[in-house]
């Protein structure tokens, strides 16, 4: 009888481990698909405005910068939200002593965000 209980308990543990792995895999997949364009393809980064966005924003958000996660996907914020974020990014650029955005760069980034922001 004890052997049967141990076998049954072992089956339950293996089943729970499989379920946990499946749930973990599903959560990882959901994170990857929804994670700001890191793997999903941020739109139009090969356009003139997209290149400016990728270059300037990738300086801090890019994977090569101290654990960066990739440039943010503009589709995850509305333009109103982006307009709240941009002054914060200007402040962080100054704090990190990076070159400030030029007016043409700022205009290109705003055009890019305006074109791709969530409606």
Same domain, 50 and 27: no
Element (H, E) at 14: helix 2-34
Same domain, 52 and 89: yes
Look up the domain containing 20 and give its range: 1-34
How many domains, in total, are found in the chain? 2
Mean pLDDT over residues 4-31, rounded? 59
Instruction: Reply yes or no on whether the pLDDT at 29 is more than 60.
Output: no
Q: Can you give the pLDDT at residue 60?
A: 81
Mean pLDDT over residues 80-101, rounded? 94
Dist CA 56 CA 101 (whole Å): 8
Same domain, 50 and 108: yes
Instruction: Reply yes or no on whether the pLDDT at 19 is more than 80.
Output: no
In the structure encoding, which two tokens stand for residue 97, read together? 């002593």
Burial 17-37 (b: 16+ CB within 10 A, else e): eeeeeeeeeeeeeeeeeeebb
Rounded to 10 degrees, the C-alpha dihedral 83/115/107/43 comes to 100
Residue with the two structure tokens 């895999």: 25
Instruction: Reply yes or no on whether the pLDDT at 30 is more than 90.
Output: no
Query: Which of 27-31, 37-41, 66-70 is modeled with the greatest confidence?
Result: 66-70
Contact in structure between 86 and 34 (CB atoms under 8 Å): no
Same domain, 23 and 76: no
Contact in structure between 93 and 101 (CB atoms under 8 Å): yes
Residue with the two structure tokens 């994670």: 35
pTM of the model as a whole:
0.63
**For all residues of the chain together, what is the average pLDDT?**
78
């Amino acid at each position: 009888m004890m052997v049967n209980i141990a076998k049954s308990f072992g089956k339950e543990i293996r089943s729970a481990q499989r379920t946990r792995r499946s749930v973990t895999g599903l959560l990882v997949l959901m994170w990857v698909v929804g994670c700001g364009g890191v793997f999903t393809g941020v739109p139009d980064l090969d356009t003139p405005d997209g290149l400016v966005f990728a270059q300037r924003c990738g300086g801090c958000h890019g994977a090569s910068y101290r654990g960066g996660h990739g440039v943010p996907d503009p589709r995850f914020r509305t333009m109103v939200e982006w307009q709240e974020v941009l002054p914060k990014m200007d402040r962080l650029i100054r704090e990190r002593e990076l070159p400030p955005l030029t007016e043409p760069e700022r205009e290109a980034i705003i055009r890019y965000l305006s074109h791709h922001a969530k409606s």
